[in-house]
Structure 1
Amino acid sequence: MKVLAVDTSSTVAAVAIIDDEVLLGEYFINNRKTHSQKLMPMIKELMDSLGLTPEDIDIYAASVGPGSFTGLRIGVTSIKAMAYALEKPVISVPTLDALAYNAQDRSAVICPIMDARNNQVYTALYRFVDKGISKESEYMALPIEELMHMFVNTGNKVCFVGDGVDRHREYLHNELGEKCSFAPHNLILNKASSVAQLALTAAKAGKLENPVDMVPFYLRKSQAEQEYDRRCGDKTHE
C-alpha cells in the first residue's frame, strides 16, 4: 500500500512516499513559506526519482492542522485535487499528532508546540503506548506560560518537539529543569514521513476519507478574523 503525504503547516514544505512500512523517499525544505511554488514540483521530482506515477499511489494524505492558514490550504487543496482526479481515498492527519510521532520518547509526556504568534502555541499532550501514540489532552491554543503551569508542579518528564522549541527553548529549560528534554534536531520539525506513517495506520483501520471531505483544521480563527470580530464587537457597544 503506497501512501503519499505532505506537510505544509509551517515554514517546512515536506513530501514523503511510503510503501507499507518502508520509506521510499522524502523531500524536506525549511526555507521560507513558498509552498505554492515548491510543493507540486517537489511531489513530481520525488515521484520521478522513484519511477512512480500518481496512479501508483493508493492513498493520499495531508497534515491538516493546526498551523499556517495559507500553508494548510495549499497542502490540503493539492492533495484533494490529486486524489479526486484519480478517484483515490485520502487521510487527514492532525499536525500535532504527526509531530508527536517524531519524538519517540517512551519515558516522557510528549508535547508538540507550534508557534502560534504572540507568545502562544498550538499544542496537545501525548504518550507512547504499545500501538503508537495516545493523545492525552484536547488540541489547544494557549500562551506558553499557561502550558508551563500544567507541568511545573508534576513529576512528569516532558519532551518537546515542533517549531515552537527554537523560540521557547531557554524558557522551557529554565522552568522545568531536568524534567525538560527535546526531540533530536533532525526530528524536531514537521516530517511528511510521520504523516504518511500515521495515515497508513489509519488506512489499515479502515479510516479512509472521500477527498471532498478533507478540510483544514485551524483550531482558532485567523488574525484577520479575530480583528474583524473585535471591531464588530466594539461597534455593538457604541
Structure 2
Amino acid sequence: MKSLAIDSASPCMVIAAKNGNEKATLSLDIGMKQSQRILPAIDDILAQVGLKPADLDYMALCEGPGTFTGLRLAFSALKAIELSCGKPIYGIPSLEAYAFPFRDFGGTVVSVIDAKKDQFFAAAYENGTCVLEAEDTTAEKIAAFLGRRGTKSLVVGPDAALFSEKIREADGALDIISFSSQPNPTDALFTIAENLIEQKKEPLKDYDGPVYLRKSEAELALDAK
C-alpha cells in the first residue's frame, strides 16, 4: 500500500513513507524548528518513494499521549492532506505503537514516554493485550503494579532507559529488561493501521484530535489565574 506515517509523541519526530516494499524514513530532532520543517519533510519523504499526497491510500499517526506541540503539528499536517486529497487518517495510541513490536514477549511490556516533572505516560501490555491503560503516573506506581503482576518486565519507548533507572530505584528486586535502542515506531504504525483497514475500522473523524493525559503548561497557567 501507499502510505505516510508520523510519530510525534516524543521530541524526536519520525516521518516515514511507504510505496509497496519501498520505504523512506526521516527523523526531526530539532526542537521548535519542527513547525518549519514538517511540511517540507513530508514532501521530501514522499518524493523519495515516488509519491505525492494524492497517491496515498492512507495515513497514520501516533494520536497521543505525548508532546503537546509535536502531536498538534502531526495532526495539523495530516489533516491538511486529508482535507485537500480526501485521504483517511488512522490514529494509533502512542504507547501501543511502541509496545507493538514486543507483543510476543513472555511477560509484561511497559511502554513509556517521559512526561517531565518526575512523571511518565505509561501503559502495560501482555501478549499484545493492554493490562494497564495509559496514564500519567510515576515510576513508583508502575513498580508497585509490576510487583503485583509477578512477571518479568520489558520497558520500551523513547524514554525506556530513564524509566528503567527510576523503576530500579523504586524496587531493585523487579526483573526489568530495557533496550538502549528502540525499533522505528512508524513500522508499527503502518502495520497497525493496515490491520485496522483489513478489519474495516473507521479512520479518524474530522473533529478528532490528539489524546492528552494532562493539561498543557499554558492551560495550567490559565487555570491558576
TM-score, with length taken from structure 1:
0.84
CA–CA distance in structure 2, aligned partners of residues 140 and 176 of structure 1: 23
**Paired position in structure 1 for 2:80:** 81
What 5-or-longer segments of structure 2 have no aligned partner?
none
**Paired position in structure 1 for 2:41:** 42
**Paired position in structure 2 for 1:213:** 207
Return the offset for 1:85.
0.6
TM alignment of 1:62-101, pairs within 5 A: 62-101=61-100
Return the offset for 1:42.
1.8
**Paired position in structure 2 for 1:203:** 197
Residue 228 (structure 1) aligned with residue 215 (structure 2):
no
TM alignment of 1:60-209, pairs within 5 A: 60-128=59-127, 133-174=128-169, 175-177=171-173, 179-183=175-179, 185-187=181-183, 191-209=185-203
Instruction: Give identity over the alignment, percent.
Output: 26
> Amino acid of the residue matched to residue 13 of structure 1?
M
SS in structure 1 of the partner of residue 147 of structure 2 = coil
CA–CA distance in structure 2, aligned partners of residues 145 and 210 of structure 1: 35
1:116-164 deviations in whole A, cap 9, x for unaligned? 1111010111123xxxx22222211112211111113442111111233
CA contact (8 A) 2:61 2:92 kept: yes
CA–CA distance in structure 2, aligned partners of residues 19 and 200 of structure 1: 13
CA–CA distance in structure 2, aligned partners of residues 15 and 176 of structure 1: 37
SS in structure 1 of the partner of residue 133 of structure 2 = coil
SS in structure 1 of the partner of residue 132 of structure 2 = coil
TM-score, with length taken from structure 2:
0.89
Residue 3 (structure 1) aligned with residue 3 (structure 2):
yes
CA–CA distance in structure 2, aligned partners of residues 183 and 59 of structure 1: 31
CA–CA distance in structure 2, aligned partners of residues 102 and 227 of structure 1: 38
**How many equivalent residue pairs?**
224
Return the offset for 1:64.
1.1
1:104-126 deviations in whole A, cap 9, x for unaligned? 55212111111111110101111
CA RMSD of aligned residues (A): 2.2
